[in-house]
Structure 1
């Protein structure tokens, strides 16, 4: 290679030197964060100041400081005081699969650009289908995130339940999807991307625990029908993102069967409970669904972003996108699992299947049983402490590892309480010791914890409540 810069760029020796240094830094990071030896989960900075730092660093920063600065200036999901968003503290071994995928760069649209990962993905999705309770006619695929997977599933639903070839011919009659008002916003987004509009999102009211009110299914369906809306699918949350409440999947399955509509389960967060001996009952009825979404990067200890989309009928997976690309794809009557470009929006995707496979191979299903069960148990323990403390109020009893609660002050009205809890959260964000998020439910502002970290204990959560009380007393 004549060009000296390119030669340096691809130098094995240069990579080894940089890689060994980074591996040492990451190993130290894992040790300090998982044990809680680092004092903060994040070091807060305002967006303007952070942007200025990286603009300046590009021109003036030292090359050897790049990775240390990244580690210092990001949120540490491996810290036991991380109780924020629904992303995992990835198993360190998945760093190796991510690195291998990035280096090999096999896009996987067609078999010859992903021989090993295509076969591995088939193995992985088969394991998950079995665990859901699907038979040997099922299959699935991996894709980049729950939002994309839910949209793909709903496109499959429309393809299966609407006789007209909408993909090629379009459709000008109102269509609808039924979903609980507490479901993740990506379902609304999918409906609008599909051209259904606001009226095509048939919202089912929730119960006091924020799960779907099954008693309102018939009423909502008939109301939509009277408006001329053809309902073709219903979505069950397992669980909802804001509150962690599981919908009654058995009841939804029965309703979907009665109306001959597609039953989809958004199990992006809590679908992994199929691996928990103690909590798999929350997913009773999932085996009757037409499709299921489960995120690997939430409750299955993997890095972002990898999601499984499973179909009870394997042929539905490849019939979603009827688009001819002769130089890539060939029509087949049987399931064409080797060409992932037929089944997803993505032509190119990472070799994300390796994250799933290596955890199954090295640790087995038991690691997911242990993890999900531990985190859901921890939420129940945290609930007991919150209920016993008059300074706090729970939004609802947790069904998963998500809890919504608020700090109470008898001297304040509802509006002032909302403001107080929002300010508490902002104060905690800037302090950086703990990281938690917030949500609004029926107009009430709650603090929200997702207990994602396998090193978080009830001791850390008790310390969080003590910190909240201290902060509240400083806010006028």
Structure 2
């Protein structure tokens, strides 16, 4: 049977080579501009409806230029590789890691069972074993890779539910007589609360731990918080620690939390999506002291480990728990009575088919070694401390708290200002975004509005930070009279 000519054209290897070379040249020029800090709108101003109309118009056009499409997409995107991108917790991926993802996309080996992705399946296990060792977890540790920190936290907490509830909840569902709950800092990422709701625990299943003046989970309140939850008829089965919080980058006292969890017989889960990678740095490893005692740990490679989104590791101290999360039977048996094979991942993850998630991580490790991750953590965390020092020296700037790493929250209060500082802070941020010379965000801390800077680009320098503070000051002074 003769193949359709359109299909032949779509799968033409020479066409792929030709367009691929052009795209790599385009991206190389883009990376060069970013490295050299060529002025550009870091987040090009746009409105959602306006962008929707633009692309609807493009869809309706009869002609199409692939390279022009690539150019337009780059122009309209948020420029994470630019040193004045200081917004969300998304890493500028190492370019060769992104190139490896091209290989993954073309091979397109789904990983539900071994036969669908044999090499990628083995690579995932090797990467997870490597990561568990770097986290100082025992040799019994195993895990899975999944698509993002939210999926990772849900996976870890589902395992906690299955292991700790005392019956086969996967088969029987929630019992009215057992109101399950978890304890977590009031500063935790919303994905933890969302996981509790997905599991059917509702708002009452989220027992919030007060934080201290440094916004860490206050260990002095643990016993009282747990006792009250029990008096309210809740059966708390898990304690969740942050490494670190999303809003302020604050690390909870993991070692003390591990002590409490052990004493009370609780599952200890650590959300290390952003900051768990501090374990790679001799300088900052103290921030995650105690992470090696966790029953489950989540770490995003696409946050502080230089890989494209989404790649998240879920590690279990007792590797057997990685098989029980979605088990049909408590002993994680298959129909034929044999233990589930490690190489068939569909039974252990939210996804059935998933991408070849470990391949780009493996390539990074082999290209640059562990040192690339330590260097990246040290560079960006050092920069966070540098910015904190600048805020102390500059008049009018007020930090929300002392930073633990590369997330810094602060606001600017003009001299003699007596107006609504929360409203002024929000307007300063709007002015910065409208000018598009920087990209920063805002957050709420203890009911107050602060500017939030996340220093993800290792090529951001002191001159960029100085320029940002100057721009914030000038915007604040100009807007102060209105608020």
* Partner SS, residue 314 of structure 1: coil
Shift of 1:473: 2.8
Pairing partner for 2:168 from 152, 165, 169: 165
- Pairwise CA distance, 1:306: 0.4
Q: 2:111 aligns with which of 108, 119, 129?
A: 108
Contact preservation (8 Å) 2:98, 2:307:
no
Residue of structure 2 equivalent to 1:405: 410
Give yes or no for contact 2:414–2:476 (8 Å, CA) kept in 1. no
Structure 2 counterparts to residues 309-320 of structure 1, below 5 A? 309-320=314-325
Q: Hey, what does 1:97 align to over in structure 2?
A: 100
Structure 1 stretch displaced more, 58-67 or 233-242 = 58-67
- Structure-2 change in CA distance of 1:390 and 1:333 (3 Å): farther
**Residue 421 of structure 2 corresponds to residue 423 of structure 1:** no
Q: Give the Cα separation in 2 of the matches to 1:247 and 1:331.
A: 44
Distance (Å, rounded) in 2 between the aligned partners of 1:272 and 1:454: 15
Residue 365 of structure 1 aligns with which residue?
370
Contact 2:207–2:229 at 8 Å: present in 1 too?
yes
On the 8 A contact 1:329/1:339 being kept in 2, the answer is no
Query: For the structure 1 residues 269 and 330, does the alpha-carbon distance in structure 2 shift closer, same or farther, using more than 3 Å as the test?
Result: farther
Distance 2:207 2:252 in 1: 16
Aligned to 1:457: 461
* 1:240 equivalenced with 2:245 (yes/no): yes
Aligned to 1:9: 10
1:390 CA displacement: 1.5
Checking the alignment, whether the CA contact within 8 Å between 2:149 and 2:273 is kept in structure 1 is: yes
Q: Does 1:125 align with 2:128?
A: yes
Q: Deviations over 1:125-150 (max 9, x none)?
A: 00111111111111111000000000
Report the alpha carbon displacement of residue 62 of structure 1 after superposing the two structures with TM: 3.9
Superposed CA offset, 1:243-264 (max 9, x none):
0000000110000001111000
Deviations 1:37-68 (A, max 9, x none): 14331211111111111111222364231000
> Is the counterpart of residue 58 in structure 1 residue 59 in structure 2?
yes
Contact 1:315 1:335 in 2 (8 A): no
Instruction: Name the counterpart of 1:213.
Output: 218
Q: Aligned partners of 1:38 and 1:339: how far apart in 2?
A: 48
* TM-score normalised per structure 1: 0.97
State the shift of 1:317 in Å.
0.1
Which piece of structure 1 moves more, 52-61 or 122-131? 52-61
> Helix, strand or coil: the match of 2:320?
helix
For 1:331 and 1:316, the matched residues in 2 are separated by 20
| Corresponding residue of 1:22 | 23
> Is the 1:329–1:342 Cα contact (8 Å) retained in structure 2?
no
The change in CA–CA distance for 1:385 and 1:73 in structure 2 (over 3 A counts) is same
5+ long unaligned stretches in structure 1: none
Query: Is the deviation greater in 397-406 or in 166-175?
Result: 166-175
CA distance in 2, matches of 1:458, 1:303: 26
Rounded Cα–Cα distance in structure 2 between residues aligned with 1:474 and 1:12: 57
Taking the aligned partners of 2:133 and 2:358, their CA distance within structure 1 comes to 17
Match of 1:294 in 2: 299
Q: Distance in 2 between matches of 1:56 and 1:464?
A: 36
Matching residue within 435, 442, 466 for 2:439: 435
Cα distance in 1 for residues equivalent to 2:398 and 2:467: 17
Aligned residues: 472
Give the structure 2 partner of residue 303 of structure 1. 308
- RMSD (Å) for aligned C-alpha atoms: 1.5
- SS of alignment partner, residue 217 of structure 2: coil
2:449 is equivalent to residue 445 of structure 1: yes
1:142-181 alignment, distance < 5 Å: 142-171=145-174, 172=176, 173-181=178-186
Tell me how far 1:350 sits from its aligned partner: 0.5
CA distance in 1, matches of 2:363, 2:15: 28
Residues 238 and 283 of structure 1 are in contact (CA less than 8 Å); yes or no, is this contact kept in structure 2?
yes
Q: Distance in 1 between matches of 2:390 and 2:337?
A: 58
